[in-house]
Chain A
Amino acid sequence: MSEAAALAIEARGLTRRFGSVLAVDHVDLAIARGQIFGFLGPNGSGKSTTLRMLCGLLQPTAGTIRALQFEVPRQAEQLRRHLGYMTQRFSLWEDLSARENLTFMARIHGLSSVERSQRIDAAVEHYRLAEFLDRPAGTLSGGQKQRLALAASTLHAPALLLLDEPTSAVDPQSRRDFWESLFTLAARGTTILVSTHYMDEAERCHSLAILDRGRLVASGAPRTLMRALPLHVVEIAAADIEGARRALHELASLRSVAQLGLRLHALLDREEAAPLERVHAVLARHGVQAQVLLAEASLEDVFVGATLPRPEAA
């Protein structure tokens, strides 16, 4: 298999402008087949716009997209036969029952009546829809709606599944179940693109793209990103936590500091040769008693590091 065929998505210089706002700014993507690929970023970072361009819902202002073997947006119609899409907002018909929604989606994707009933039966079983199958979709809970929406968007066994913040309205247990389902789908060869602003979800992805104000600021496997973080992560436990915070701000190499319970979580430049000694020194100068140790970078540190204002811009 050639390298190009192994990629589900290949985008180069993807750019989208809304009036004077640059929503997506020259993003390059290469997403392998069968991966769960996450888009992590704050609201307004361009996650939804990128997903919408990848499936032909929005025209890119510049750049090229190849999704499966199709050129988007020119061949968007062909792509749609192999595409599942779950919108951020519940977009099935609330006045139709769960079963009627599934039947409609199966018919619109051209499944024969035999395939239809087989696939719907399988989905009802797998996504545990039986208890509310004949209730209007509008009366379902957030978790039930989400299971139904995922079932509806995968009935036709799409090769590419796009999920736009799918777990923003569900409880933690439902989120865990949802991700189990995604791994099952990925194991069957479905390429899944999912946007999120939850760190724990992003950490589950095979690969990640971190977006900030429309720009791709970091990408790679979560673990690789954490290991390659160009910052020292220092944790400080102190009784006088405010005093410690004030002291730390004297460090030129301090990039960010956040409080976690009774500890401070500080990010320092990699150029700082002896971070622990520097922190100890500055705390001692301010008379703050503290325990200081180096910590492993978390994905949140990666995210904070990637979305910090750039030094050259300051």
Chain B
Amino acid sequence: MRSPGLQRTLAVAAKEMRQLSRDRVTLAMVVGIPLLQMLIFGYGIDFDVRHIRAAVVDEARTQASRVLIADLGASQVLDFVAAPASPAELRALIDDGSVAVGLYIPPDFERRRIDGDRPVAQVLVDATRPGIEPAARAVAQAPLPMRAGLAQRPPPQIEVLSEYNPERRTAVQVVPALIGVILNMTMVIFTAIALVRERERGNLELLITTPVRSGELMIGKLLPYVGVGLIQTTIVLMVGMLLFDVPVNGSLVDLYLGAALFIAATLGLGLLISTVATTQFQAMQLGFFIMLPSILLSGFAFPFDGMPRVVQWLAQLLPLTHFVEILRGVILRGAPLSTMWLPALKLVLFLLLAMAAAAGRFRKRLD
């Protein structure tokens, strides 16, 4: 005979699971959100800019000018997609946004190369788009060695970029942390609205007249979503491995263990929100309120070391900070979870505190 407490907890969990299975929209979101976000972020967040659409006006038409254009195209920074006839047409293409960079090689290109006192060519940049300008500036370095008469040396722009970012692939850094970011987004909201929805629909008034205890209710509501979170982890991980070639160097067991801890901690936070908010709208607002600092301060996008001390402490209060540390360790460095016991312990502590606070705040009363 199972203990009554366990039976009640499992009854709540089974009910939640059944309701989730009825909710087609949410069910689609369980799979759709991580998949889409992974594709958008994985492809979209790229700190080295490549394949900028560019146009070239070559009024010199010499062998050297063709070599310059070919070299710039080979760098993959610029994709020459148009060859307008005049500088005016080039500007029009930039103005209407069809290209972001324009290269103009004047008719006296050869003369300028030999004289070396005037720029040999001009690069026009659409500076309204982030990231384009530095890339174009690097490209603009190209004619300088030639100005000194060293035309045979390959343009140095690729080397410059390579030194700065040898991997040249942001995906490796971004994708592991994205598992955490995506889970953070979905998990908090799932549980944040779980209790509030029942309050709004009137179910809670019935539920609190039954013998179910608040701790049992909280755990019962949390359990099914740990499973949902692990499914999302799998989706993000598969997309990362298949599409972005992110290697998983550490153990999968460690990875899922860490993920389960983080998921539970985040769900606990959602439940806590659920006990504060009185409407689903408020719960959503509070959820987003937690989400943005999590993404900005967790070290996912911005280096943690550059932040002021106070902000670093604040970041320590966010479960995502610790999970990003675990993710990068396990996935990229191949470190076992046991060497990262501190962030893991912090997640456990966070979970316990959030659940205790949620269960403590939840009163089986209407006033």
Contact = CB atoms under 8 A, between A and B. Distances in A.
B18 interface: yes
A57 B365 contact: yes
A126 interface: no
A96 B209 contact: no
Given A58-B365, A87-B202, A91-B205, A105 B210 contact: yes
Nearest to B220: A108
A150 interface: no
A277 B248 CA distance: 102
Interface in A25-73: 52, 55-59, 73
Nearest to B11: A107
B212 interface: yes
Contacts of A93: 15, 19, 201, 203
Interface stretch (A77-85, A189-197, A219-227, A237-245): A77-85
Given A59-B367, A91-B203, A92-B203, A77 B19 contact: no
Given A52-B366, A59-B365, A59-B367, A108 B211 contact: yes
B210 A108 contact: yes
A93 B21 CA distance: 14
A92 B202 CA distance: 8
A58 B202 CA distance: 16
Interface in B192-232: 201-203, 205-213
A96 B206 contact: no
Contacts of B203: 91-93
Given A108-B11, A110-B4, A85 B19 contact: no
Interface string B1-19: 1001001101110110011
Contacts of A81: 211
Contact of B209 (A55, A90, A136): A55
Interface size class of B (residues with CB under 8 A): 20 to 34
Interface in B13-37: 14-15, 18-19, 22-23
Interface in B154-208: 201-203, 205-208
Nearest to B15: A104
B22 A108 contact: no
A295 B206 CA distance: 44
A89 interface: yes
B365 A80 contact: no
Given A83-B209, A96-B18, A90 B202 contact: yes
B204 to A, nearest CB: 8
B364 interface: yes
A95 interface: yes
Contacts of A100: 15, 18
B8 A107 contact: yes
Residue picked from B10, B14, B202, most chain A C-beta under 10 Å: B202
24 contacts: A57-B365, A57-B366, A58-B366, A59-B365, A77-B213, A80-B210, A87-B202, A87-B206, A89-B205, A91-B203, A91-B205, A92-B203, A93-B201, A94-B201, A95-B19, A96-B19, A100-B18, A104-B15, A105-B210, A107-B11, A108-B8, A110-B4, A110-B7, A110-B8
Give 9 nearest A-B pairs by CB, closest first. A107-B11, A85-B209, A91-B206, A91-B202, A110-B4, A89-B202, A95-B22, A108-B210, A57-B366
Interface of B: 1, 4, 7-8, 10-12, 14-15, 18-19, 22-23, 201-203, 205-213, 364-367
